[in-house]
Structure 1
Amino acid sequence: MNVVIPPKRRDRKTSFKKLVSYVSTREENRHSEAVVKPDGVYPPSGEEYVATPGFGQLVDYVGRKRVAPKTQIVSISPEGIQRVLCGEVLCETNCFSLDTAAAEMNMTAMQNPRCKDAVYHFILSWQQDEDPTPDAIFASVRYSLQSLGMKEHQYVAAIHRDTDNVHCHISANRVHPTTFRAQNMWNDADTLQKCCRVLERDLGFKVDNGSWHMDEYGDLHRTHHDMPSAPRGAARREIFSDRESLYGYAVREVRQGISLACEQSRLDWPWLHKLLYTRGLGLREQHGGLAVYDLFNPDGVSVKASDVHPAISLPAMTHRCGGFQAAPPVCNPDRLEDGMLGMYNNYLPQLHVRDQDIRRERREARAIAREILRARFEAYRAGWEKPDLRVRARFQQISSHCIVMKAHVRDTVRDPLLRKLMYRVAEFEKMKAMAELRLQLREERSALSDAGLSRPLSWKRWVEKEALRGDVAALSQLRGWAYRQKRRARQQKNDWPEPNAVIHYEPGEDAPTFITREHETRLLHDGTVSYLLDGKPAVTDFGDRVEVYAAPDSQADRFNNDLAAELTAWRSGDNAVVKGERTAANRVLYSGVIRNLTKHDGHVFTVSDRQQMAIVRATQDNLRNGEVKTDPRQAESAQRDDLNVRSKRDFPRP
């Protein structure tokens, strides 16, 4: 068994309300599930259960108390200790009752104003394969309280069996009910650890790890660890960021080898440098001692050598092997045939620390499974044979049947005219049978094609078929392809800069590719058309939207807006909306106005937003009333390159 003491607030004002609220709602609810109340806990009309602050909320949690729970007194001892069954949780208390325990504790705690936080909470937990009886659990609770000097203090203990480990929550009042003195809880963790060792011996529980251990004579001794604990910074990195620290990597890679070398008396400076180098690590003198660092990032964080293993500290290595010796070269320049020392592994700070060895084994197993899957596919392709529909034999069978019919007519019919007529009937039957056979063969070929049997399956189709059969390697391959597509999509998304204005269209509306003097047109494999200006994306047509990016000067910005307006004019404009920065969107709308006034080819720049379209019409009316001469179009379609001419504009630009 073992003990857990939950941490409390440092200002001695532990908020059990927040703690209980967090613990009671730790199970996440799915958004698709309806929120309902448990059966049998509906409060009466107009009434609502409110937990008593402080002890009340803690007692509610350890007793799994909810709205109006059903309690049943199981037994009462002569000392006044009650056992109460609250729902499915068995509780024990030395108060008058479980319902008034919180109020009694609060009233007792109020008698000592100097004690700012009278609540004491700890948990006794047993190993997963243990199932202690309630008598043994509550006996352990009373012994623990007695060891803490709280034998006569008020307490509530509750047994929880809703997890893998049976455990018991104990909430006790530090203030004595008669003397009103607060119990000093100094060194309570060591006291409870000693209690666990004694209870393991007396009650027959399995021996667990802890800060104290009991020898064969029944004496308690503090547990000494041969290896130092992890540095605080490394532990925080692995806990909070789930990234492997340099300390964790060094311990995982070299600690066991160093221990084995110490046992075999093989530890010296060259051997240690060689071991560290093969793992991508180095050893140097630093701040009067030795430090282990990453060879690929020497200026980064380093770890004390004694934290990795006590045997490679500077005093230990000096006593064993003499003064510090620098790392020897990894190759012999005089004899190149000796080769060089290889580096088998290196520290990768971006890797997760969780289940590293398991993930490595799974990754290797997936690679082997996929190789086997590919070999199976190659064997399938090598042994594939096209289904034989016996086309030639079936046609020959019809022809043979016609020949037999003619021979029978020739032997049985003597009249030449009738014989000729019977020959025509046989030919007609032959043609009819062949036509029916062609239709049947067409259906058979279609069925084979639908089933994927008319030709060998491609690699992807074969993997999909195997995945439907439940092949784990095929499922893994499909998920790998999906992950690669997502990663490629993220990379393509990062390739484009942040747009100033975006014009959204209805799905399925496409515009032709345009060629202008100012832009370089580039067509991507996925149908995206990118218009570059000085080698950088200026306007991009994704089909369902057009993005306009920032330009280095006003002239380039005008070219980009005019091109975006031209791409919009060649669409219907039913669901066209210009979004983005206000000034950038206004410049696109103004370019659309210029396009409508200067080009009359049946395509009109329109948008679906009423406010934006009102701005376009008002601007057109103002410019048209100014009697300004119109110019040819700025951007021409790729289908009409002969009209690709740009002339100076007389319209004012914003």
Structure 2
Amino acid sequence: MLAKVLSKGRDAGGGCRSLIRYVMRSAEEGAPEVEAFTNCLSLETAHLEMRAVAHRNVRVHGPIFHFIVAWREGEHPHSAQLCEAGRAALEALGMPLGDHQYVFAVHRDTGGVHLHVVVNRVNLQTGHAALPGLSYLKLGRCMRELELRQGWEHDRGPFMVVERDGQPVVERDLPSPGSARHSLPARARAMETFSGIESLATYIGGAPLRDVLAALSHSGVTWQDVHEALAQHALELRIRGHGLAIHAKGHETRLPVKASSVDECLGRGRLEARLGPWEPPARMIQVSQAARHYGEREINDASASHREAYAESCAALRAKYAGERRRQEDAFAARRQAMRSRHETQYRELLERHRLVRERIFGEELTSIERRAVRSIAAFERARELERLREQQRAERGELARVQSYRQWVEMLAQQGDESALVQLYGWARRRTPRRVVQPARSNWISAVHSPDAYPLPPGRAHVMENWTWRVDTANGNVHYLRQGEQQLTDEGWRVVFDSNDARQDAMLTGLLLARQKFGPHIDVTGSEDFRQRSAMLVVKYRLDIRFGDTALEAVRLALIREREQEAVARARQKPSDRVAQRERMEDQSVHRVHEREPQATPLRAPIDGPER
């Protein structure tokens, strides 16, 4: 189900009657009969009644609001479901049926059943006008809830349906910060959000942009080189206003993309400064066959599963915290009540003790001067002890263990190694602007093979290593791994970074195993050539199920595997006597190396029968 507010939905110039006639198809000859519902006296007088109520509010402009609720092809809701959808949509917009006049008109003869809703924003009782701001968000959530209630297939929109603890929940579908969708123009992002179709801006920002930038990197580049690079992808650069825009061939009705919004070096000013005055594409380039075309393909968001897993993990953690918070609140209430009872008892005992002191003073035979002095001293002692008791009780109240906030509880779990807590810390760090912390240069890391806009995996505590300790950075969720007290590598979520440019073999093996556990068998290795070669050798030596995304490094891995297989075949073909001889030679060589490494005792003096060694 989808809902759309029409641009002509508000009655700007007295068109209420024409709008109702349009949705009822009164002016169309031979049009099928339209099923309609209204709370006005009749459909014929609905526009007059709406106008009369709207005139009660002289400040309102455009009192009539018009939107459509559409079902997918093949879905055929009955009248009760249609009325429920219209009522739910109006309630989501803050215009309940009992307070606002409406007309529902059902069209069933098109590709899919859709419901026209015409409503008067002016309240029947109060005369106040409703302001349905952010209607696309309110209607988007309402559509997902109706799909759940009525059993329809879920459509794309600003909200999505996810499963939490076995129950479907409606949540906002937001692009991750820093992703390609997040940096798209607002209209392109809305198109991908609501329709699931790749926008022209996304298409241009991929291979076409890389080809154009590659052409501009060459010396002697001309305008025709830029046009040719775009023509390979069925795109054309044209003048639009005072700047340049990129058009998709075959999609002339589609809004072009501003060239400078794709990359700042494609702005008209920069291009003309480098290439000279503007030149349109040559005829040969305009009619050339393109290798690729913009086809409005559906988005294959590989990070959707990661986002859903992250959302499920955070929801489960929040539910766990709710139970823990109730337990802490009960324990805190019991401790506080016990402390209050103890403090009250201490206070009453102190007052009772000083009351007895006063009674003894009055019972003793003292002169007036002595009694006044003793009473003064007793009052001073009473005030001093009361103040001490108050300070003591105030300190106890401050030390009383309070209920942990969600952040404190998550940080505590993260320090204990809970992976859901690590995921939550990493999500918080991604949402806020990171602080600029000076870190040592670390150029060697292992990451997953994914596109730059893929949703990165959060850090996790590895289960494949022994004799390692780890420490969690609660500011960003990173996990630091230490061996014998020395930090060796860091899991930053989307990559495993080595703290030393000359990492030890055990640290590299641990990093490879951790990356295999997090990212799967396909990984990328970035760093010095020595680090990359050593990574490939470790993968082959320990027979790790890992493939490299880099073609050259993968070729090295395959070559090492072939070399190992050839050695195994050569050993299998050797005669038993040759293998025994070779083993004996290897043992002799190893014994010789051991003797070479052993320190020799230095004689105090040279032997008589030979030269000094």
TM-score (normalised: structure 1): 0.31
The structure having more radius of gyration, on CA atoms, is 1
